Structure 1
Amino acid sequence: MRLLHISDLHLGKRVNEYSMLEDQAHILEQILKIADQEQAQGVLIAGDVYDKPVPPAEAVRLLDYLLSSFADRKIPVFFISGNHDSRDRLSFGAELFKKSGVYMASEGFLEKVDREDEYGELSIWLMPFLKPAQVRSVYPEKDIQTYTDAVRAVLEEADLDPAKRNILVAHQFVAGAVQCESEEVSIGGLDQVDVSVFDGFEYVALGHLHRPQSVTRETVRYCGTPLKYSFSEVHDQKSVTIVELKEKGETAIKTVPLTPLRDMKELKGTYLQLTSRPFYETQERDSYFHITLTDEEDVMDAVGKLRMIYPNLMKLDYDNVRVRTQLQYEEMEAVEQKRPDEVVAEFYQVVNGRPLSDEQSKLVEEMMEEVWEEER
């Protein structure tokens, strides 16, 4: 079975106050063409279909068009809600959609859809975004403290048939994956899920992180967003993932690149350099730009003037002696306002990726007291 894996459409999203709806409509058309070219036999959408729990009407119409287009092609769709979606709103009409081959995890934490191809039976498991508190309320007898505990508790109820090929569609942050600026970051990585909970699945179609990547093994994969949603993704190549499952244990994965209506680009230089005709005529000026000016003096109405050449200028900042000095001052000021033991604790966290233990914290306090005692 050949499956197309996408996620994190974030329909209705605005980036730096720019609506991305036109760009999203363009990229959805590409995805439909790829589904045709690759002869997809199913589509996995791993959450964050919308950018907000209450999406704008235009975003709802876009999703309706996408699902209807797949239904017209007789390509079944299997999708879940993410942390940005309202699960109740997204699952409206779920039973009716099934008649058109659109399957949504609408009730409970896990839903199974059985399929069959020339290699035998195949089960697709749909697991929407989970939080420990939600799962704890359903399984009070289980010790559920972390996100790993929550996902493990739910998957333990799956009763996987090891003779079948099992696919999971999920929307979680798997430990070891790489994040970027356009994602919601949990402090201290509290929302991380250990990859071992996915043992037993032939393929895990993940959503939540915006950069395409596999985690630990090739078949535990984030397909990434179809569009760039922050300038931290400037150098990323967006794509869709094609998964081909043959006999059990034989899974092939490839990516198909996507071309946006407008790319994201970064430019850096003086105002005169960036506004000179020989320079800007070499640029794709309809792109979304982050421009950094290196002039020592601020350019009056720089945004307005630059937008005459770069109409989709999203972000403007400066990199000069004044800005660097200000940044250094702010960093020093922030450190000076903290207690010495706080500075040590933060440094230890950065270097080691974990906080000080109670014993270590006590040792730091004792050392500080000794230093202060000597200075008195």
Structure 2
Amino acid sequence: MRFLHLSDLHLGKRVNEFSMLEDQAYILKEILNIIDAQKVEAVLIAGDIYDKVIPSAEAVRLLDDFLTRIAARELPVFLISGNHDSAERVAFGSRLMSSRQIYLSPVFESDVEPITISDRYGEINIYMLPFVKPSLVKRVYPEEEIITYQDAVNAAVQHMQIDTDKRNILLAHQFVTGAARCDSEELSVGGVDDVDASVFDGFDYVALGHLHGPQKIGKETVRYSGTPLKYSFSETNHKKAAVIVDVEEKGKINIQQIPFLPKHDMREVRGTYMEVTALDFYKDMNTDDYLHITLTDEEDIPDAIGKLRCIYPNIMKLSYDNLRTRAAGTVRGTAEVEEKSPMELLREFYELQNNQPMTDEQEEVARGMMEEIWEDER
């Protein structure tokens, strides 16, 4: 049977105050095209369906349309909640939707029971484990010692009592030890949410969600699909792709990846203002992409982002890399502040911020403004 493994759609997400809904609608249509072209027979979605616990109406409509289109193809969908989701909201209507082969993970309140589907090789058991914390699992199994995330996931898996003679697939949304994170993900201090991959040894394939970078963990069959879109500039080098998993007879699994082609890529651009605005610099570039532009000019360009948007309309972030920003000072104690004149304080502040002293002309302007303000206050 051929599966499509997805995760971390984050529907409704905003990146640097840009709504990603249009891009998400675009990539969901591309996913449907991949489903058709690759003759996918079932879809696995491993959590973080929404970006917020209480998603926007637009995000809910987007998911509804996507699932309706898959249901029209008469394909089973297995979908679990992630740490960004409300398990209760994701589970709503699950019994009704299952009649259309849309299987939603229930709230974790008891042993996880598999959903069994069949192909020409026999039965495949699909286990759906939503994102769990130790306290949640402890409530279900109060007699067991459950302190860490490792304890929690291990207890949940042990109670599944899987038949290792059969083919078993697990959907889970956790951080597995050894995986690489990026800036757009929620981090836990000290790695307290780590789960060792050995917990999943009894499964033929583990469809993981939670991390945005596509990657395998230890072996090919324990895998994060990653997000279908880039959601931070720490992801600019990610190769986003749909993960196609062919599950054949017991012990035989083939995996391939189909690259996603987004409506807008996310890239970083660097150079002086004159360089990045030169036609030769951008003529072969998709200037509609989401960009982080770093200017290397020593002096700030007035209204730089407004001017640059005439060429690059979707700038998300503008930075400077120059002598001032590389050698930015640190604010020191203020014990002597009352002994210094306003001009001295301004002079020190300017040098701290710009890594160079004020010019005579700047001091003259500043002194004139101070005198004008004080004169008005008299």
**TM-score scaled by length of structure 2:** 0.86
Per the alignment, in what secondary structure is the counterpart of residue 206 of structure 1? strand
Q: Distance between the aligned counterparts of 1:165 and 1:278, measured in 2?
A: 56
Contact 1:105 1:111 in 2 (8 A): no
Q: Distance between the aligned counterparts of 1:107 and 1:216, measured in 2?
A: 29
Q: Which residue of 2 aligns with 1:256?
A: 258
Q: Distance between the aligned counterparts of 1:111 and 1:13, measured in 2?
A: 32
Q: Which residue of 1 aligns with 2:44?
A: 44
Q: Which residue of 1 aligns with 2:172?
A: 170
Q: Which residue of 1 aligns with 2:286?
A: 284
User: Alpha-carbon deviation of 1:161?
Assistant: 0.9
Whichever residue aligns with residue 271 of structure 1, its letter is Y
Per the alignment, in what secondary structure is the counterpart of residue 99 of structure 1? helix
Asked if 1:62 is matched to 2:38, the reply is no
Q: Distance between the aligned counterparts of 2:278 and 2:39, measured in 1?
A: 47
Contact 2:88 2:107 in 1 (8 A): no
Q: Distance between the aligned counterparts of 1:325 and 1:76, measured in 2?
A: 57
Asked if 1:195 is matched to 2:172, the reply is no
User: Alpha-carbon deviation of 1:153?
Assistant: 0.5
Contact 1:111 1:127 in 2 (8 A): no
Contact 2:185 2:212 in 1 (8 A): yes
User: Alpha-carbon deviation of 1:307?
Assistant: 0.9
User: Alpha-carbon deviation of 1:278?
Assistant: 2.1
Tell me which of 270, 273, 284 is aligned to 2:272: 270
Q: Distance between the aligned counterparts of 2:270 and 2:208, measured in 1?
A: 35
Asked if 1:119 is matched to 2:118, the reply is no
Contact 1:268 1:293 in 2 (8 A): yes
Whichever residue aligns with residue 137 of structure 1, its letter is R
Q: Distance between the aligned counterparts of 2:220 and 2:301, measured in 1?
A: 49
Contact 1:147 1:192 in 2 (8 A): yes
Tell me which of 321, 324, 334 is aligned to 1:322: 324
User: Alpha-carbon deviation of 1:41?
Assistant: 1.0
1:65-108 alpha-carbon deviations (Å, 9 max, x no partner): 11001100001000100000011111111111001110011143
User: Alpha-carbon deviation of 1:138?
Assistant: 1.7
Per the alignment, in what secondary structure is the counterpart of residue 126 of structure 1? strand
User: Alpha-carbon deviation of 1:21?
Assistant: 0.5
Per the alignment, in what secondary structure is the counterpart of residue 150 of structure 1? helix
Unaligned runs of 5+ in 1: 334-376
Instruction: Please give the residue correspondences for 1:280-319 in structure 2 after superposition, counting only pairs within 5 Å.
Output: 280-319=282-321
Contact 1:146 1:191 in 2 (8 A): yes
Whichever residue aligns with residue 8 of structure 1, its letter is D
Whichever residue aligns with residue 60 of structure 2, its letter is V
Tell me which of 214, 226, 229 is aligned to 1:227: 229
Instruction: Please give the residue correspondences for 1:1-376 in structure 2 after superposition, counting only pairs within 5 Å.
Output: 1-108=1-108, 110-326=112-328, 329-330=329-330
User: Alpha-carbon deviation of 1:308?
Assistant: 1.2
1:175-206 alpha-carbon deviations (Å, 9 max, x no partner): 00000111111111111101110011000000
Q: What number of residue pairs does the alignment pair up? A: 331
Q: Distance between the aligned counterparts of 1:143 and 1:89, measured in 2?
A: 29
Q: Which residue of 2 aligns with 1:336?
A: none
Q: Distance between the aligned counterparts of 2:31 and 2:131, measured in 1?
A: 24
Per the alignment, in what secondary structure is the counterpart of residue 161 of structure 1? coil
Unaligned runs of 5+ in 2: 333-378
Contact 2:26 2:263 in 1 (8 A): yes
**TM-score scaled by length of structure 1:** 0.86
Whichever residue aligns with residue 248 of structure 2, its letter is K
Q: Distance between the aligned counterparts of 1:39 and 1:269, measured in 2?
A: 45
Whichever residue aligns with residue 214 of structure 1, its letter is K
Q: Distance between the aligned counterparts of 2:136 and 2:24, measured in 1?
A: 32
Q: Distance between the aligned counterparts of 1:45 and 1:111, measured in 2?
A: 17
Instruction: Say what the alpha-carbon RMSD is for the aligned residues.
Output: 1.3
Larger Cα Rg: Structure 1 or Structure 2? Answer: 2
Whichever residue aligns with residue 77 of structure 1, its letter is V
Contact 2:177 2:197 in 1 (8 A): yes
Structure 1 window deviating more from structure 2 (118-127 vs 100-109): it is 100-109
Q: Distance between the aligned counterparts of 1:265 and 1:111, measured in 2?
A: 43
User: Alpha-carbon deviation of 1:282?
Assistant: 2.4
Q: Taking every aligned residue pair, what percent have the same amino acid on both sides?
A: 57
Q: Distance between the aligned counterparts of 1:162 and 1:190, measured in 2?
A: 30
Per the alignment, in what secondary structure is the counterpart of residue 196 of structure 1? helix
1:44-65 alpha-carbon deviations (Å, 9 max, x no partner): 0000000001111111011001
Q: Distance between the aligned counterparts of 1:181 and 1:220, measured in 2?
A: 22
